[in-house]
Chains A and B, each alone.
Chain A
């Protein structure tokens, strides 16, 4: 069954603006992770938030988790051209597999 689903599918912003994307999931989770993928490349781990956490920061990234709504958001502040990529949330039901959403494609215009 599908788990993480990102919204919006695509986002275009000006350099310096903030980018916000959301992820919804269906079943209870242990953790939720966000990954970045540059076109044709591998997945880069950005941040993990545990089910008992509500907010987490890492540099210009801020992740929130609302387990009652089964949703998470990723905020990238002061975006740069290098932030242009696809962003995926991934949920895990156990230690053994991640379930990915379809991703949000972010384009940062110079």
Chain B
């Protein structure tokens, strides 16, 4: 069964550094999403992406965040200058209608 994959599984970075989280969507999916889950808290929506542009973004998704599909397959989330509070699990999700299928997540630790 097709799955959403994410790399890396765990990323440790220093405050102020840039990180890029990668997601490979399920092949026929057209909608792409990033969510994050701070340890012990709810899963929070960050951004949705459709037809090569952002459809919606939350207040969390500020100028430090960006998304793109650089090669038409991978879907990336970039954090330009990481802060301690960016430490979380970041989940990519993809879908072709209402259902969203989540990847296993990238655990980002900012030190």
Contact = CB atoms under 8 A, between A and B. Distances in A.
Interface of A: 30-31, 33, 35, 41-45, 48, 50, 88, 90, 92, 94-103
B interface secondary structure, majority: strand
Contacts of A99: 45
Nearest to B48: A96
B111 to A, nearest CB: 19
30 contacts: A30-B98, A33-B100, A35-B102, A42-B102, A42-B103, A42-B105, A43-B102, A44-B102, A45-B100, A45-B101, A48-B98, A88-B43, A90-B43, A94-B56, A95-B48, A95-B55, A95-B98, A96-B31, A96-B33, A97-B33, A97-B45, A97-B56, A97-B58, A98-B33, A98-B45, A98-B93, A100-B35, A101-B42, A102-B41, A103-B42
Interface of B: 31, 33, 35, 41-45, 48, 50, 55-56, 58, 91, 93, 95, 97-105
